[in-house]
Amino acid sequence: MSASVLPLHVETAGLDPGEGVETFLLIHGYGASTFTWRHWAPRLATRGHVVQIDMKGHGRAPKPDDARYAPRDQAELVRALIEQRDLRNLTLVGHSLGGGVALLTALGLLDAGTPRLERMVLVAGAAYAQALPPFVGLAGYPRLCSMMFRALGPELVVRTVLRAIVHDRATIDAEQVRGYAGPLGSAPAVHALVASARQIVPPDLGELTARYPELDTPTLLLWGRHDRVVPLSVGERLARALPNVRLHVLERCGHLPPEELPDDSFAIVERFLDG
């Protein structure tokens, strides 16, 4: 199978992959895209080879009308991409749902026995059972979700969600709203949102979380103190489970550290990478 047939959108930047070159694979969150990383990706590109993906059903990725939008399905696609491109010296960087997908990918790589993964950076990563945020819960109702997008339009929906998840609403601007809303204007995109929301909690979540202590990869957990989507308590619990981890909490920050505090958040990532 060639990488081109995977239902992912892939963008690369920075140094060419090769021996001794660090590779950074960036995985966005629910309803988002590579747009999430617009502040971090160019900086990482000065350090190594950057691979950004739109997960299946998101951004510019294909949006097939099937039932395979669960986190495990996404992780299997990410692992397939890693193996097909023979990515090594790898740092997985995941935000929100993408953090959960990164954890599942890391477990898959561990089971495969191939020494590819060097580090992880999990930003407000979904990891344990928790109350679903309202925008994910609403998306679990197909008719309601479709009506909402038709009646309000993607930009108003996105602006409303952003206002609910950042700490300082003054940081929201028109570019950000357009960047997230752009891929959400089609029926297949709404289908993918609904399918992802309805499958977002793995049925075997307890078995998966019990395996987190197996992941001794050096890991940075980065959280906003005021995250109302994936609360800091999730990060604190994950910090207790992972054996080689540091947790950094950003003050006056919500669910989007790479956007709310792009300079401060990346400085923390850079110190971790250098360390």
Look up the domain containing 111 and give its range: 3-131+202-274
Residues 169-190 have a mean pLDDT of 94
Q: Is residue 240 included in any domain, yes or no?
A: yes
Residues 75-89 have a mean pLDDT of 96
pLDDT confidence of residue 5? 84
Q: Is residue 162 included in any domain, yes or no?
A: no
Q: pLDDT for 18-39, tens place per residue? A: 888 999 999 999 999 999 999 9
How far is residue 62's CA from residue 56's CA, in Å, rounded to a whole number? 6
Question: Which of 35-49, 94-108, 194-208 has the weakest average pLDDT?
Answer: 194-208
Residues 253-271 have a mean pLDDT of 98
Q: Is residue 153 included in any domain, yes or no?
A: no
pLDDT confidence of residue 67? 84
Q: Is residue 140 included in any domain, yes or no?
A: no
How far is residue 122's CA from residue 127's CA, in Å, rounded to a whole number? 10
Q: Is residue 188 included in any domain, yes or no?
A: no
Task: List, in order, residues 6 or more apart from 210 with CB less than 8 Å away.
Answer: none
Question: How far from chain centre, in Å, is Cα 236?
Answer: 18
Q: Are 257 and 265 in contact (CB under 8 A)?
A: yes
Q: Are 27 and 44 in contact (CB under 8 A)?
A: no
Q: pLDDT for 219-253, tens place per residue? A: 999 999 999 999 999 999 999 999 999 999 999 99
Residue 1 has pLDDT above 70, yes or no: no
% of the chain at pLDDT higher than 70: 99
pLDDT confidence of residue 119? 98
What is the pTM for the complete model shown?
0.95
pLDDT confidence of residue 219? 98
Structural domains in the chain (count): 1
pLDDT confidence of residue 133? 87
Tell me the average pLDDT of the chain. 94
| pLDDT confidence tier of residue 134, bands split at 50, 70 and 90 | confident
How far is residue 168's CA from residue 140's CA, in Å, rounded to a whole number? 28
Task: List, in order, residues 6 or more apart from 256 with CB less than 8 Å away.
Answer: 36, 95, 124, 165, 166, 224
Q: Is residue 181 included in any domain, yes or no?
A: no
Residue 4 has pLDDT above 60, yes or no: no
Residues 86-106 have a mean pLDDT of 97
Residue 2 has pLDDT above 50, yes or no: no
Residue 204 has pLDDT above 50, yes or no: yes
Q: Is residue 89 included in any domain, yes or no?
A: yes
Q: Are 37 and 26 in contact (CB under 8 A)?
A: yes
Looking up residue 34, the CATH number of its domain turns out to be: 3.40.50.1820
Instruction: List beta partners, residue 11.
Output: 52
For residue 13, the tally of other CB atoms under 10 A from its CB is 15
Q: Is residue 247 included in any domain, yes or no?
A: yes
Question: What is the amino acid identity at position 90?
Answer: L
Q: How far is CA 83 from CA 88, 92, 98, 99, 109, in A?
A: 9, 14, 18, 19, 9
Residue 3 has pLDDT above 50, yes or no: no
